[in-house]
Amino acid sequence: MKTALATVSISGTLEQKFAAASKAGFQGVEIFENDLTQFPGSPRDVRLMAADHGLEIIALQPMRDFEAMPEPMRSANFYRMQKKFELMHELGTKRTLMCSNVSPYSVDDNARAAADLYELAELAKAEGFLLAYEALAWGRHVADYDKSWDIVKRADHPNLGICLDTFHMFSRGATLDCMRNEIPVEKIALVQVADAPYLQMREILQYSRHYRCFPGQGDFPVVEFMKALKEKGFDDYVSHEIFNDDFRASSPEDRAVDGMRSLIWLDQQSELPADHTPEELVDDVEFVEFAVAGESGEELVQLLSQLGFEETHQHKSKQVSLMRQGDINLVLNREPASQAHQHFEKHGVSVCALAFSTPSLKKVMKRADQFHCARFTNQTGPGELNIPAIRGIGDSLMYFVERKPVRFFELDFEPLETTRSGSSAGLIRIDHIGQTVASTDFLSAAFLYKSLFDFNVEASQDLPDIYGLVVSRTALNQNKRVRIPINMTTARSAAAQRFIDTTHGSGVHQLAFACEDIFKAAECVPAHLHLDIPANYYRDLQARFQIDNKLLARMQQWNILYDRNEDGEFFHFYTREVHGVFCEILQRVGNYDRYGEANAFIRLAAQSRAVGNH
């Protein structure tokens, strides 16, 4: 499979788009005509610039409103296309994309459309060009790809083929039957792949212009499409054509990498057998690393101490210590010459890295390289563990550790004498880690976990903040011991944006710790750290769940929230924010497997009040 990117898919100037596509590993580009029209140089300059970046210009697109038009528009269209052919020669491309007609003047006549396309294909043949005819999902008379195929088949010209675009196909609910059973591979002139969330929108044009995304980031059956394409023996370019507001407002380099990552994922997924079981590349959270320094760093240390954590180990050669409780490892990095300190200088006290345990370092790092993940190399001393890492969400890192034969802290750290006088809160493990990202990175963040680790990514949910909506979706591994809720908002004063403003970028905003006894944990945490929950919440809780009065009173005393479903119960409470980060303590009863989403609006409102009263 050869890979290409339509220039409309990413932001920037044409030169920036070429540079980003080339750096990400694409072999070709489709030139969106707007990009060419606004370019200050000549088409020949564009051709040379593409060549300098090692890119083939695979198509000029799109050509609109051509077929089945009355005179004098028909003659004007042929004149216009002749001028476009001249342009194509200067660009050095041999293919053009033609969209089905949306003009109110067009005639609903497949035979006439086929005749017009045949006549144009004859002119294209003389120029050495190939026409790719595409059914726009909002085409006036041709909106479904089986109808565009009927027209291409009627025209029956070797220089005319069909363009298969997954958005136009699946946004109208098309099946793959026509593609599988009727369209020969030699008549597929261009393939464009785009995904999208399933939305019920009356205006497909608006759906197309704002909600497309890379394959694997949405809900369309793009893997099945690619399997069917491969079964036909297709071996030409597969190209992205993405219209997305967030893509156009973000880094072209980052989005180009996302695009290449999605094609690699699509290619791999289409090769898997139907009964394939994903391999567990990541099986647990090994540690969370904080960048800390000065008095502000000690505020965090104090919070963690009040949650029952204690410093148990000190690094042999660096200003790095380890706090532990149960099977939870929190690394405090105060080392001045480190990536953590750079993170602190930019983001303040914050989580600078997550470490995941893996059954096979070799496999997970090979996968990271395949998916164009940037590696990070740490400074290690003699005999110290060199933990491999990649760049993660925002400016953070992801480390990977094999737990056997020993844990990471048994090699690089010295145990400390513990002096805890208070009782432990009984926290046993990290249940989930919440990350907040800018809206432009929301799809990218979830797809990183999906593509790299084969995590499942749940459908998005809207969480009502008092200042707007927070959108959340959770990525989780196969054994559900790694759960990463990812949040974003476009509301300027909502909690997710408040975090980004506080920490100057995307990062971890929540650490959720599981315990065995929620009331014991609540009693061990100082009352001033608890996030206050209004009494009205507990009156509503009683009405919904008919909770025993004594139990309800204990829950209200300790600001404990509650949820229940057919699988079990969920108790949880929150701490106040420290440097934008808050902790959640939770207890799952029975087989409850959610996150108490029904309580999110209570938590978000309480956090807003706490920040306002601080």
Q: Note whether 505 and 530 are within 8 A (CB).
A: no
Which amino acid belongs to residue 153? K
Q: Which residues contact 477 (CB under 8 A, 6 or more apart)?
A: 280, 282, 283, 453, 454, 455, 456, 483
Please give the structure tokens belonging to residue 549. Answer: 């009065």
What is residue 424's three-state secondary structure? coil
- Tokens 């808050």 correspond to 582
Q: Residue 299 in 3-state DSSP?
A: helix
Would you state the structure tokens that stand for residue 524, as one six-digit string? 């061990």
Type of residue numbered 310: E
Q: Compute CA distances 11 → 14, 19, 46, 249, 490, whole Å.
A: 9, 12, 17, 7, 19
Do the beta carbons of residue 190 and residue 96 sit within 8 Å? no
Is 402 annotated to bind a ligand? Reply is: no
Cβ pair 580, 506 in contact under 8 A: no
Beta bridge mates, 483: 476
**Under 8 Å between Cβ of 289 and 331:** yes
Half-sphere exposure at residue 553, Cβ-oriented, CA atoms within 13 angstroms: 3
Q: Which residues of 25-57 are buried (b: 16+ CB within 10 A; e: fewer)?
A: bbbbbbbbbebbeebeeebeebbebbeebebbb
User: What residue type is assigned to position 135 of the chain?
Assistant: A
Q: How far is Cα 32 from Cα 58, in angstroms, rounded to an integer?
A: 11
Task: Judge contact between 188 and 164, C-beta under 8 A.
Answer: yes
146 belongs to an annotated ligand binding site: no
In terms of Cα–Cα distance, which of 160, 69, 61 is closest to 120? 160
| CA-based nearest residue to 247, from 209, 303, 289, 216 | 209
| Cα end-to-end span (Å), the chain | 57
Ligand-binding site membership of 15 (annotated): no
The 3-state secondary structure of 262-282 reads HHHHHHHHCCCCCCCCCCCCC
Do residues 179 and 230 make contact, with C-beta atoms less than 8 angstroms apart? no
CB-side neighbour CA atoms (13 Å) of 334? 16
CA distance 84 to 90: 10
Helices of type H across 404-512: 409-412, 442-453, 495-503
| Six-digit token string for 536 | 């009205």
Task: Report residue 387: phi and psi, to 5°.
Answer: -90, 115
- Residue of 511, 584, 525, 486 whose CA lies nearest to 351: 511
Q: Is 183 helix (H, G, I), strand (E, B) or coil?
A: coil
Annotated binding-site members for a divalent metal cation: 134, 165, 192, 241
Annotated binding-site members: 134, 165, 192, 241
